[in-house]
Structure 1
Amino acid sequence: MFKSKLMLLTAVLIFGTLAVFVRNINLTSKEIALLRGIIGSLFLIIVMLFSKEKISFSAIKKISFFLLPQGLE
């Protein structure tokens, strides 16, 4: 229970401080979004490598109907 609350608090703090950093960066919003996506992807890849968890492509296929619109957004 404590771990989940700590994770939620961490996520809220990171998301809440985003505006402070964005305001002080001299990049367009598109460039910031691209960099955030790249950094987030690299972070997730590193986490997956350290956790040694396999990607279940069959599970991804099952929810691809919902994932495709998110990628187009």
Structure 2
Amino acid sequence: MYNKIDIDRNKLTIMGVKFSDLKTLENTANAIGSNMFEGFKPTHKNIKIIRDYMIGKLSLNDLLIFAKEKTYV
């Protein structure tokens, strides 16, 4: 089942997580939305991690470490 998340394009936030620009916000929202159809339930921390990956602050290897350690929840 798909659940709605709070996206504010004027404030550039998803679930209260601030983005620097609209393009990054929309790309992140699209990625999250696609995964939500598969059962993903995003948290505030998930959004921050995904945002940081999208802007290049985290590497794919960093994401894999988060996944293995389950520190993304």
Which TM-score tier does this pair reach, normalised by the shorter chain? under 0.3
- Which has the bigger relative contact order, CA under 8 A and spacing at least 6? 2
TM superposition score normalised by structure 2: 0.26
TM superposition score normalised by structure 1: 0.26
Greater strand share, 1 or 2?
Answer: 2
